[in-house]
Amino acid sequence: MKTTKKVLLLITLISLCACKKDSKGEKNNYTNIKISAAPSECLAPANWFTIVNNTRQTPAPNEGPTSVFANNKTVTNCDFHQWSWQKFLWLTNEVNGVPFFITNLIQVNSAGQRLNPGSGIVLTDIAQASSPSDILKTPNYPSGVPKSTTVYYSIFMDRLMYTTMLKYGPIAKNDPTSLKDITFPVGSLELKTSWIDASVLKDPSSYFITDGLINGVKTKVALLGMHVVGVVENHPEFVWATFEHENLAPAYDWSKATPTTDAPVTSTVDYPFFNKSSTATVTNITSGNGIYTDVFSVYKYGVPVEKAMKGSHNVQLFMKTSQNGSQNLNNIRTINQSVKSQLKGIWNNYFYNGSIWINTAGYKTTQQQAALLDSLSGTLSESTPGKLTRGSVAAYNITMETYVQVGFGPKSIHQVTVDSLVNCFSCHNASHRSKLSPLYISHVFNGYVGSLKGLTRKQIKQESVKEIMDDYNLRQKLR
């Protein structure tokens, strides 16, 4: 009987071991989870990597009525991860060294106003979505790179989403009740990208670098991360996928945590956002604390785990959520490995850190799905067992959601519960000041409507953050 219990325990548990390497060859402490009886692998098809005239030409993913998403009862977890990677690869197809997303998408600011990136990507925004005071900077290293600098953000839309925003924005300003159940059409695409002055990187050779205008000054900028946010058939809530450079910051070492105490984070090498002479705690990744560097990531691929088990600090359990954490992590891990083995060039230095979406099975029409999103409103992000969130229910990008990885407000990592998890839907939902429409899931749409009302970008940002916190605090009170 004891032997049987031990076997069952081993099947359930996750063992931690080192995974990816940093640029100096030292393995960091990201968890590489070994899963017993793992499902079939989620792989990247070879045709994604077709080379024509020395250029990769990844085809655009099928996301409409003939795609795998057309049957929301049979679509699989892997299908969403495959869409995410294929969309990223399609967006980074290059012509003369310039990727598709720069040449073919429309750059806008947070108020939905079109920008002109003709001389370089326009970069002025530095605040993260969680708070105007949440800013990410590089450390002041004792030697080497002489200065600290700030991460900047840019937003791109495809023409379909942009024209839809222009169409419904004036209606939202004058009669928002008429937008109930209206969604962005299938194919709508929005990107958020993070950049840094390339000169501050000790080794910029592994980053995609292009021209940027930082506050009007022409500068070579390096891409750090990208949110790929797109509407596929049966999913008007968008699929929220995130990618980042593979060597930006260390990971939280769960093997050093106890059941009641967080482990301090250290590193034997410098990262772009962590000084090896520093020691970091949860304070470094908590919103509103004003600590802008020496940050670290908590959950691999946005898959939450429980605190270390008593007497077994190197053993973890998946947190019980609305999503099968074991299956989700395994699929992300295997598709990342599959892409890594086939992808050539600079984009091979970026990895997929997960995505999130809503289970819409049983909601057959766009109108029914929109009504679902409206009804869920500010509770869209809830990830307790039985809820509808799927994928990486603690999804984040280390350069964009740096300070909400363990929720809003100061707390210990080991005290995070499924009720306090934060993901994309914590900030992006169909509710806006008691008005309901899936269009409001896009902050850019909200910003555009605000600009039509005469609000400044600062006022739009303040309104957005206040609404996020009001929704979050209300959810906590209702629990």
What is the number of structural domains in the chain? Answer: 1
Contacting residues for 243 by C-beta, under 8 A, at least 6 apart: 88, 225, 226, 227, 228, 350, 351, 352, 353, 397
Nearest to 396 by CA among 424, 415, 359: 424
Q: Using CB atoms within 10 A of its CB, is residue 388 exposed (0-12), middle (13-18) or buried (19+)?
A: buried
Average pLDDT for residues 31-43, to the nearest whole number? Answer: 55
List, in sequence order, the alpha helices (H) in 68-195. 77-91, 100-104, 159-174
> In this structure, is residue 197 part of a structural domain?
yes
Q: Is the Cα dihedral 49, 50, 53, 59 positive or negative?
A: negative
CA 336, 242, 327 angle in degrees (round to 5)?
Answer: 50
Contact 249, 267 (CB under 8 A): no
Residue 316 three-state SS = strand
Distance between CA 234 and CA 80 in Å, rounded? 12
Q: Using CB atoms within 10 A of its CB, is residue 275 exposed (0-12), middle (13-18) or buried (19+)?
A: middle
Distance between CA 269 and CA 303 in Å, rounded? 26
Q: What is the pLDDT of residues 309-343, one digit of tens each?
A: 544 444 558 899 999 999 999 999 999 999 999 99
pTM given for the model: 0.89
pLDDT at 1: 42
When the pLDDT of each residue in the chain is averaged and rounded to a whole number, the result is 87
Strands 235-245 and 152-157 come out as unpaired
pLDDT higher than threshold 80 for residue 361: yes
* pLDDT-derived band at 5, boundaries 50, 70, 90: very low
Distance between CA 289 and CA 163 in Å, rounded? 39
Distance between CA 41 and CA 327 in Å, rounded? 10
Q: Which domain holds residue 387?
A: 47-478
> In this structure, is residue 390 part of a structural domain?
yes
> In this structure, is residue 308 part of a structural domain?
yes
Nearest to 65 by CA among 240, 230, 235, 241: 235
Percent pLDDT > 70 in the chain is 86
Contact 213, 121 (CB under 8 A): yes
> In this structure, is residue 25 part of a structural domain?
no
Distance between CA 19 and CA 6 in Å, rounded? 26
> In this structure, is residue 36 part of a structural domain?
no
Average pLDDT for residues 178-186, to the nearest whole number? Answer: 94
Average pLDDT for residues 44-70, to the nearest whole number? Answer: 97
Q: Which of 44-48, 261-265, 312-316, 406-410 has the lowest mean pLDDT?
A: 312-316
Nearest to 385 by CA among 450, 444, 307, 304: 304
Q: What is the pLDDT of residues 222-252, one digit of tens each?
A: 999 999 999 999 999 999 999 999 999 999 9
Distance between CA 461 and CA 464 in Å, rounded? 5
> In this structure, is residue 29 part of a structural domain?
no
pLDDT at 415: 86
Across 252-269, b (16+ Cβ under 10 Å) vs e yields bbbbbbeeeebbebbbee
Average pLDDT for residues 249-261, to the nearest whole number? Answer: 87
Nearest to 424 by CA among 150, 239, 177: 239
Contact 428, 78 (CB under 8 A): no
Q: Which helix (H) or strand (E) holds 368?
A: helix 366-376
Average pLDDT for residues 424-428, to the nearest whole number? Answer: 93
Q: Which of 21-25, 384-388, 474-478 has the lowest mean pLDDT?
A: 21-25
Residue 218 three-state SS = strand
> In this structure, is residue 165 part of a structural domain?
yes
Distance between CA 190 and CA 72 in Å, rounded? 23
Residue 271 three-state SS = strand
> In this structure, is residue 317 part of a structural domain?
yes
